């Protein structure tokens, strides 16, 4: 039960941060991505803050064997850049640039009742399903 409450609190805090920062607003995100037009640099500060928090969190996590809730720590150790990572990053970036959403903000906007977000989330789920089918077929052969 305490894990569910902690997960709920973390998700609510994350969602609130996305709303307050403007990351759940696709127009704001597209303004940030439009470096050749009316560029809005404000989200760079949000991303910079997230990077700093991430660096601190991973530094602390690497020194721990258990999480604050008692789970085993599973810090990624793989840092190899391959074709799949690059292609996946490109697909993610193109999708972000077209829709103005990435997964977290898309779910927040969906919860707020935004119609564009429903299309984005449905497309995201379809993409995840297609990926899973391809991966299962690759594993079989």
39's torsion region: left (phi>0), alpha (psi -120 to 50) or beta? beta
Structure tokens at 78: 């793989």
pLDDT band at 70 (very low <50, low <70, confident <90, very high): confident
Question: Hey, where are the domains in the chain?
Answer: 2-140
**Residue 135: pLDDT over 80:** yes
Stretch 126-138: mean pLDDT, rounded?
93
Report pTM.
0.73
Residue 35's pLDDT band (cuts 50, 70, 90): confident
Q: What is the pLDDT of residues 91-111, one digit of tens each?
A: 988 888 888 888 988 999 898
Q: Which two tokens stand for residue 61?
A: 């996590």
pLDDT confidence band for 67 (50 / 70 / 90): confident
């Amino acid at each position: 039960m305490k894990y569910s409450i902690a997960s709920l609190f973390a998700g609510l805090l994350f969602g609130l941060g996305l709303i307050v920062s403007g990351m759940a607003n696709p127009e704001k995100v597209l303004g940030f991505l439009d470096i050749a037009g009316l560029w809005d640099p404000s989200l760079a500060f949000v991303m910079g803050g997230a990077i700093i928090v991430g660096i601190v969190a991973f530094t602390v996590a690497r020194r721990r064997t258990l999480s604050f809730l008692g789970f085993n720590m599973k810090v990624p150790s793989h840092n190899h850049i391959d074709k799949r990572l690059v292609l996946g990053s490109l697909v993610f970036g193109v999708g972000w640039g077209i829709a103005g959403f990435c997964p977290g903000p898309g779910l927040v906007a969906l919860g707020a009742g935004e119609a564009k977000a429903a299309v984005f989330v449905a497309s995201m789920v379809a993409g995840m399903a297609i990926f899973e089918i391809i991966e299962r077929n690759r594993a079989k052969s």
